[in-house]
Chain A
Amino acid sequence: MTSNESKSTTGDLLLEMRGLRIEGQSDEVWQEIVKGIDLKLHRGEVLGLIGESGAGKSTIGLAAMGFARPGCRISGGEILFDGRDLMQVSENERRKLRGVRIAYVAQSAAAAFNPAHKLIEQFSETPTEHGVRSRSEADADAKDLYRRLQLPDPENIGYRYPHQVSGGQLQRAMTAMAMACRPDLLIFDEPTTALDVTTQIEVLVTIRDIVKQFNTAAIYITHDLAVVAQMADRIMVLRFGELVEESDTRSMLSDPKMDYTKSLWAVRSHRKEVEPPTKTDTPIVKVDHVSASYGVVPVLKDISFEIHKGYTVAVVGESGSGKSTAARVITGLLPPRQGQVYYEGEALPADYRKRTKNQLRQAQMIYQMPDTAVNPRQRIRDVIGRPLSFYLGYSGAEREKRVRELLDLIELDPDQFIDRYPGELSGGQKQRICIARALAAEPKFIICDEVTSALDQLVAEGILKLLDRLQREFDLSYMFITHDLATVKAIADEIVVMYQGQIVEQGAKTEIITPPHHEYTELLLSSVPEMDPDWLDTVLKERAHAHELYEKFHAES
């Protein structure tokens, strides 16, 4: 994007927010969640809003449409769209702008498309309901936009239902739907967050192209700096509903002024410092020629890998590659069709119900969603205390003491947390509780299933550091399942790359991430966005065959 600098200055003012204040209701009390934001956006300009969850970026994005989610209200300030204050016009006036002049692209296309209607019906609904185009014109236009967004079979894909189309394609179909009335302003609310890296890059390219083609102004909301660097001309960093810093993309990346921005930028620099210990003869866990299936659908095809004492083995791959299924086989939740899992050289029964308590104790799990992984009706004392009594027979004062020790270990103050319910904790704190619960069983081996993907980068960073420290203190082995290659680079000793139920490559980290790679590994690695505004262009140039590679590995979806 060579036009970065020039574009931000050209064009008339399209959207201006002055002192925008938004309140959210929690427990019957209104609290300010956006605290006086000033924002300007010119025609044809792409503005990036970045921040962690709770920064108010989505709320601001929706406010640009004069919309507040239920439980929120715009309490002050002006929202001038094309010279009109959206807060002063009637709800009906605002409704007439939505979809026509300002359109929205949501985070999860799978959830934002109505499951009951075909894609093209949902596309044409906006122009026909607003009287912009007739149904047949709109349908023809849909096919044209599907083609521009490089959807496969643009003539017919619209006649499918949302569940019949893959995630990356749905996201593009939603971008097409947002373009249906050729709006002046598009709001992208984390449009690629739910996608795999290799799919993300395809969606980013098409979104960027379509915005350029129609010279549409856009607000691009994300928590991913590397992504926003590719998309935006100008970036606003937000925290707790306030502006931290604002400048054009290049200077924001090269020269952040505020400490908070710098800390965000530094997140991806974490690296595991200590070299792993030398390997012993018997690995902690050995997965030997395992095949598994759900019903008749094969999900694992003859996979073998080992995890040694004190090692972190990252299992990477896109969704559907069988990473989590491998974990289910190891824990005995899904008995394999063929093959065997060994723990310290001893064959484990395939079904967890046939394993001894001691065998169960040795392998613990930490899950992706800490919200759903802890019982909301139990106090922290009982969440952590349960494995203590169950596996190790602790009770009474002894158990209490141990729970407190564990809380200390995960850097949460026991006096403050032991009596609380999970609902009172933040996402990062809950994940720490899950770690403490896993540690309570005194295992040698922990499976971490996407443990940081639901967390903000700074929080995730803290969790990774904690896991790192615990590994050194207790000589733990981790199986680290993730689709996030930045995390892999940060913490792995060894990497297992999975694709469609098979292991395409495995070995020491340095070996895997330095070329030459297996083709699929290369596709994965080169798809991880970097904090360089020219990355997308560069990678597209470098990978002249990138698209063919992508097509090759996504032929089925």
Chain B
Amino acid sequence: MNAILKMVLQRLGLGALTLIVVSIIISIGVELLPGDLAQEILGQAATPETVAQFRKEVGLDKPAYVRYFLWLGGIFQGDFGTSLANQLEISQLIGKRLQNTLFLASLAALIAVPLSLLLGVLAALYRNGIYDRAVNAITLTSISVPEFFFAYVLIIILAVNLGWFPSLSNVSTDMPLWERVYKTFLPALTLTLVVVAHMMRMTRAAIINLLASPYIEMANLKGIRKFRIIVHHALPNAWAPIINVIVFNLAYLVVGVVVVEVVFVYPGLGQLMVDSVQVRDIPVVQACSLIFAATYILLNLTADILAILTNPRLLHPK
């Protein structure tokens, strides 16, 4: 168990290091953006004096590396700076948005993960049959079609024609849970359609990959039922690749939902980032990017650790 703890700590350290590197890349990227921020915000009519004054106020007159370290230092104290657009504390601004994004991602994951595991297991069980082909075809279609298209189709059918769900997901954190789920359902469903294919196909492939193993043949020769062979003998050994793909998709649910959020006007982090880019609210963009990067790194870390924990050789050493 100690070895595992050591590994977790090692990975955490490595993750932190990656995050620092990412923060440098974000800063350099922002630095490379064309145009002058002060000029942009104050408009063409601003006099050179006001521009200089503004630059001094927000610290733009300092060299890039000084600004970077000031920014980084602030983050370590939980201070992401203030938004240029509306002078609000960024941590406050982001807080609620992040909660909303995570809520949407969790809801989508709650539907998508069990669904794709089930579909994948069944596809492996009835491989090469009609069910298998149908599921493959449907999920492939759903992954190939752009998500905004699905979003609009769902809105037309479920919101406009049938009127079951609202087409706008204007949720807030102080809503009752049930109402929140109800309003978030359509974007969650859209996201599900996008991520199920990948996870389901990996589940199927990882299981089928193992079906030629001697221990599967052994289970067959012990007269074990097919379904049990898949679930009890193949699946436990297939977790590592499946977990990796699941986590990859979970990360996508958090960081890749911009389009869906925009379509449903869902007040999430992605929408905030898009808005901020439009008004050149650079500190907010930087903070969002960093949070996305952290999510990605943290989830991948989880995948690595889970993959190791599902390996009995590592969990139960000799």
Give the B-binding residues of A (Cβ under 8 A).
62, 65, 67, 69-70, 95-100, 103-104, 106, 108, 111-117, 125-126, 129-130, 160-161, 163-164, 177
B222:A115 contact, CB within 8 angstroms: no
**How far does the Cβ of B144 sit from chain A's closest Cβ, in whole Å?**
31
**Is the CB–CB distance between B222 and A111 below 8 Å?**
no
**Contact residue among A117, A129, A163 (Cβ-Cβ distance under 8 Å from B236):** A117
Minimum Cβ distance to chain A for residue B219 (Å): 7
Beta-carbon contact of A113 and B218 below 8 Å: yes
CB contact list, B204-246 vs A, under 8 A: 212-215, 217-225, 228, 232-233, 236-237
Interface presence of B312 (CB below 8 A): yes
Q: Which of B218, B228, B316 contacts A104 (CB 8 A)?
A: B218
Q: Does B318 contact A (CB under 8 A)?
A: yes
B313–A98 CB distance below 8 A: no
**CB–CB A95/B218 < 8 A:** no
For A70, give the chain B residue with the smallest CB separation: B212
> Would A115 and B237 count as touching, CB distance under 8 A?
yes
Contact between chains at A129 and B220 (CB < 8 Å): no
Asked if B237 and A67 sit within 8 Å, CB to CB, the answer is no
Please give, as numbers and ranges, the residues of chain A lying within 8 Å of B233 by CB-CB distance.
Answer: 114, 116
**Cross-chain contact of B224 among A108, A125, A161 (Cβ < 8 A):** A125
Does B237 contact A114, Cβ atoms closer than 8 Å? Answer: yes
Residue of A nearest to B238 (CB): A116
- Could you list 8 further interchain pairs (A-B, Cβ under 8 angstroms) beyond the known A106-B217, A129-B222, A163-B316? A65-B221, A69-B217, A99-B221, A104-B222, A112-B214, A116-B312, A126-B223, A130-B223
Contact of B318 among A103, A108, A112, A163 (CB under 8 A): A163
Residues from chain A with a CB closer than 8 A to the CB of B220 are: 67, 98
Asked whether, in the complex, the Cβ of A129 is within 8 Å of the Cβ of B215, the reply is no
Which single residue of chain B is at the shortest CB-CB distance from A62? B221
B218 touches A129 (CB 8 A): no
A69-B217, A114-B233, A163-B318 given; A95·B312 CB < 8 A? no
- Which B residues are CB-close (under 8 A) to A161? 312-313, 316
A108 nearest in chain B by CB position: B214
Q: Do the beta carbons of B225 and A113 come within 8 Å of each other? A: no
Given A111-B214, A114-B233, A164-B318 contact (CB < 8 Å): yes
- State whether B312 touches A163 (Cβ < 8 A): yes
Number of residue pairs across A and B with beta carbons under 8 Å?
Answer: 75
| Complex alpha-carbon distance, A130 and B221, angstroms | 13
Q: Which residue of B lies closest to A101 (CB)?
A: B223
Interface residues of B (CB under 8 A from A): 212-215, 217-225, 228, 232-233, 236-237, 312-313, 316, 318
The contact of B214 among A95, A106, A163, A164, by CB within 8 Å, is A106
A138 to chain B, nearest CB (A): 13
Taken together as a complex, chains A and B put the C-alpha atoms of A113 and B216 apart, in Å, by 9
With a CB–CB cut-off of 8 A, which chain A residues contact B222?
A: 98-99, 103-104, 125-126, 129, 177
Measured CB to CB, the closest approach of chain B to A120, in angstroms, equals 14
Q: Helix, strand, loop or mixed for chain B's interface?
A: helix
C-alpha spacing A189/B269, complex, angstroms: 61
Closest to A129 in B: B224
Interchain CA distance A103-B220 in the complex, whole Å: 11
Assuming A70-B212, A114-B215, A129-B228, is B223 touching A98 (CB within 8 A)? yes
Nearest 5 CB-CB pairings of A with B: A98-B223, A99-B222, A116-B236, A99-B223, A111-B214
Assess whether B218 is in contact with A106, with CB atoms less than 8 Å apart: yes
A114 touches B221 (CB 8 A): no
Bound complex: CA of A423 vs CA of B281, how far in Å? 62
Q: Please report the C-alpha to C-alpha distance between residue A310 and residue B224 in the assembled complex, in whole angstroms.
A: 57
Q: With A70-B212, A97-B223, A126-B223 in contact, do A163 and B313 touch (Cβ < 8 Å)?
A: yes
The complex places the Cα of A106 from the Cα of B214 at a distance, in Å, of 8
Which single residue of chain A is at the shortest CB-CB distance from B220?
A67
Q: How far is the CB of A29 from chain B (nearest CB, A)?
A: 20
Q: Which of B215, B223, B224, B236 contacts A113 (CB 8 A)?
A: B215
In the assembled complex, the Cα of A97 lies from the Cα of B215 at a distance in Å of 19
Q: How far is the CB of A161 from chain B (nearest CB, A)?
A: 5
Q: How far is the CB of B299 from chain A (nearest CB, A)?
A: 24
Partner of A96, one of B223, B228, B312, B313: B223
The answer for the CA separation of A103 and B224 in the assembled complex, in Å, is 12
Query: Closest A-chain residue to B216, C-beta based?
Result: A114
B233 CB, min distance to chain A CBs, angstroms = 5
**A160 cross-chain contacts in B, Cβ below 8 A:** 316
CB closest residue in chain A, given B212: A70
- Give the distance to chain B from A182, nearest Cβ to Cβ, in Å: 14
Inter-chain CA distance A1–B232, complex, in Å, is 42
Jot down 11 A-B pairs with beta carbons below 8 A, ordered by A.
A67-B220, A97-B223, A98-B220, A98-B223, A99-B223, A99-B224, A103-B221, A113-B215, A114-B215, A117-B236, A161-B312
**B196 → chain A, closest Cβ, in Å?**
26
Identify B215's interface contact among A65, A67, A104, A111, CB under 8 A.
A111
Contact A114 B219 (CB under 8 A): yes
Give bound CA distance, A149 to B220, whole Å.
24
Shortest distance from the beta carbon of B240 to any chain A beta carbon, whole Å: 11
Contacts of B312 in A (CB 8 A): 115-116, 161, 163
| Other-chain residue from B217, B218, B228, B237 in contact with A116 (beta carbon distance below 8 A) | B237
Q: How far is the CB of A131 from chain B (nearest CB, A)?
A: 11
Contacting residues, chain B, for A69 (C-beta < 8 A): 217
Task: Please give, as numbers and ranges, the residues of chain A lying within 8 Å of B318 by CB-CB distance.
Answer: 163-164
A70, A99, A108 — which one has the most chain B CB atoms within 10 A of its CB? A99
Q: What residues on A are CB-neighbors of B237 within 8 Å?
A: 114-116
Q: Which residue of A lies closest to B221 (CB)?
A: A104
Q: How far, in whole Å, are A108 and B215 apart by their CA atoms in the complex?
A: 10
Residues from chain B with a CB closer than 8 A to the CB of A111 are 213-215
- Once the chains are docked, how many angstroms separate the CA of A129 from the CA of B213? 21
A136 to chain B minimum Cβ distance, whole angstroms, is 19
Roughly how many angstroms separate A95 CA and B224 CA in the complex, as a whole number? 7
CB distance from B87 to the nearest CB of A (A): 57
Q: Chain A's nearest CB lies how many Å from the CB of B168?
A: 47
Closest A residue to B315 by CB, please name it: A161
B217–A95 touching, CB < 8 Å: no
CB–CB B225/A95 < 8 A: yes
In Å, the complex CA distance between A65 and B222 comes to 10
B221 to A164, Cβ gap below 8 A? no
* B215 contacts A100, C-beta separation under 8 Å: no
Query: Smallest Cβ distance from A337 to chain B, in angstroms?
Result: 24
**Bound-state Cα–Cα, A374 to B233, Å:** 34
CA–CA, A216 and B45, complex, Å: 100
Q: How far is the CB of B313 from chain A (nearest CB, A)?
A: 5
Nearest chain A CB to B218's CB is how many angstroms away?
4
CA distance A65 to B224 in the complex (A): 14
CB distance from A14 to the nearest CB of B (A): 18
Q: Which residues of B contact A125 (CB under 8 A)?
A: 222, 224
